């Protein structure tokens, strides 16, 4: 099977642009996604014309078209009681926590000290209960698993280190209460040298439960003479012990190709923050070049089969 066939772009892409929002903005991209009351809900990152981001919800019956967007921003930065949100909130990832009957939203808060991981919970995507900053800067690309492991919640995140040179690996940590996080360890390291995912990787959408393990879609950032290229790769974690990486593919599976991915506010970027499974299919929602929102679909069994063929873990 050829990697380029795994994710199929929706012919109506881009599905949402800043021109289609009910109020003026600079861009709409990097949306979290979930199924809710028979609809697909996107929590979209909207960048305003001051440069700061907030979230606005959009809903669709089939998850493909007919999107209706909240008339006003759904969640705005609240620097008065959360100073870490002074320069905006970005890149939400949504996980439904059945045990608590709510959705967690992990997002990047752009603080004075740099980007960090914040957490909020919601039951309706109207009211949000903030848990505040859960991991200090620089840290991004965080998402919760939907279940506890041996009594503890688990979160994937992506701190940045400058040792021995700047590098960014995917980490995992655990918490008894969603507030205090510990047992930090590297989960998926960036590769080195000439690899497409050398030096900087990060989780894209939250881990997806499959029959064979937690499916991980992550981004790898390649630095070139003309800038970065954001591409996507696959890995698989053990269902019982998410610290165990069962497989990791060698090649990327999705890369900027269409004009709305190649050209925007940041060129050559595909950046998903959400996917929704329906039967064997998955709908992947991704930001195109930090400007618009696009959709691609894939078959989960095909992703798992391809991952096995390409495993170099």
Mask for 224-263, x = binds ligand BMA (CB under 6 A): ------x---------------------------------
Pick from 287, 288, 293, 307 the residue near ligand BMA by CB under 6 A: 287
Nearer to ligand BMA (CB atom), residue 14 or residue 287: 287
Q: Tell me if 102 contacts ligand BMA by CB under 6 A.
A: no
Among 3, 14, 16, 30, indicate the residue that binds ligand BMA (CB under 6 A).
30
Strands 89-97 and 102-111: what pairing?
antiparallel
Q: Which one, 91 or 197, has the nearer CB to ligand BMA?
A: 91
Smallest distance from the beta carbon of 107 to ligand BMA, in angstroms? 10
Q: Indicate whether 266 belongs to the interface with ligand BMA (CB under 6 A).
A: yes
Closest approach of ligand BMA to the CB of residue 228, in Å: 7
Token pair listed for 284? 């992947």
Does residue 114 have a cis peptide bond before it, meaning omega lies within 30 degrees of 0?
no
- Kindly state the tokens that stand for 97: 């926590």
Residues in the interface with ligand BMA (CB under 6 A) total: 9
Part of the chain binding ligand BMA (CB under 6 A), chosen from 36-44, 151-159, 264-272, 296-304: 264-272
Using CB positions, name the residue nearest to ligand BMA: 266
- Non-local CB neighbours of 134 within 8 Å, separated by 6+ positions: 106, 117, 118, 119, 142, 155, 178, 179, 181
Among 55, 125, 128, 271, binds ligand BMA (CB under 6 A): 271
Q: Which one, of 9, 30, 10, lies nearest residue 271 by Cα?
A: 30
Q: Is 7 in the site for ligand BMA (CB under 6 A)?
A: no
Q: How far is the CB of 180 from ligand BMA (least distance, A)?
A: 26
Question: Going by DSSP bridges, is the β-strand pair 170-175/89-97 parallel, antiparallel, or unpaired?
Answer: unpaired
Q: Is the CB of residue 114 less than 8 Å from the CB of residue 125?
A: no
- Count of Cβ atoms closer than 10 Å to residue 53 Cβ: 29
| C-beta of residue 13 within 8 angstroms of C-beta of residue 260 | yes
Q: How far is the CB of 232 from ligand BMA (least distance, A)?
A: 12
| Among positions 47, 138, 139, 290, the unique one binding ligand BMA when judged by CB under 6 A | 290
DSSP 8-state class, residue 307: H
Minimum CB separation of residue 302 from ligand BMA in Å reads 26
Nearer of residues 213 and 274 to ligand BMA, judged by Cβ: 274
275 binds ligand BMA (CB under 6 A): no
Cα–Cα dist 255/282, whole Å? 17
CA angle at 30 for the pair 16 and 113, rounded to the nearest 5°: 140
| Assigned token pair, 64 | 């493909």
47 is a site residue for ligand BMA (CB under 6 A): no
Residue 270 C-beta-side C-alpha neighbours within 13 Å: 26
Q: According to CB under 6 A, which one of 85, 91, 138, 197 is a site residue for ligand BMA?
A: 91
The tokens 């959705």 sit on which residue?
Answer: 103
Q: Tell the burial category of 196 from Cβ atoms under 10 Å away from its Cβ (0-12, 13-18, 19+).
A: middle
90 binds ligand BMA (CB under 6 A): yes
Q: Residues interacting with ligand BMA, by CB under 6 A?
A: 30, 90-91, 230, 266, 269, 271, 287, 290
């Amino acid at each position: 099977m050829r990697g380029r066939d795994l994710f199929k772009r929706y012919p109506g892409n881009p599905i949402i642009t800043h021109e289609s929002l009910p109020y003026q903005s600079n861009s709409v991209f990097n949306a979290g996604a979930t199924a809710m009351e028979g609809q697909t809900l996107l929590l979209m990152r909207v960048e305003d014309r001051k440069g700061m981001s907030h979230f606005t919800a959009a809903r669709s019956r089939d998850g493909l078209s007919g999107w209706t967007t909240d008339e006003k921003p759904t969640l705005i930065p609240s620097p008065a009681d959360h100073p870490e949100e002074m320069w905006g909130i970005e890149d939400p990832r949504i996980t439904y926590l059945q045990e608590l009957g709510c959705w967690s939203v992990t997002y990047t808060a752009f603080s004075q000290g740099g980007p960090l991981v914040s957490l909020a919970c919601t039951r309706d995507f109207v009211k949000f209960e903030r848990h505040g900053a859960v991991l200090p800067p620089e840290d991004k690309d965080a998402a919760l698993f939907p279940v506890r492991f041996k009594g503890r919640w688990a979160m994937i995140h992506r701190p940045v280190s400058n040792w021995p040179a700047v590098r960014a690996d995917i980490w995992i940590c655990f918490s008894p209460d969603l507030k205090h996080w510990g047992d930090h360890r590297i989960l998926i390291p960036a590769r080195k040298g000439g690899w497409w995912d050398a030096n900087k990787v990060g989780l894209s959408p939250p881990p997806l439960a499959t029959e064979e393990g937690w499916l991980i879609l992550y981004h790898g950032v390649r630095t070139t003479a003309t800038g970065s290229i954001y591409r996507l790769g696959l890995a698989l974690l053990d269902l019982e012990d998410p610290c165990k990486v069962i497989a990791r593919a060698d090649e990327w599976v999705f890369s900027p190709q269409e004009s709305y991915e190649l050209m925007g506010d940041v060129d050559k970027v595909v950046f998903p923050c959400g996917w929704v499974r329906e039967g064997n299919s998955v709908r992947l929602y991704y930001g195109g070049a930090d400007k618009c929102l696009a959709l691609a679909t894939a078959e989960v069994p095909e992703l798992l089969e391809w991952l096995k063929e390409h495993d170099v873990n």
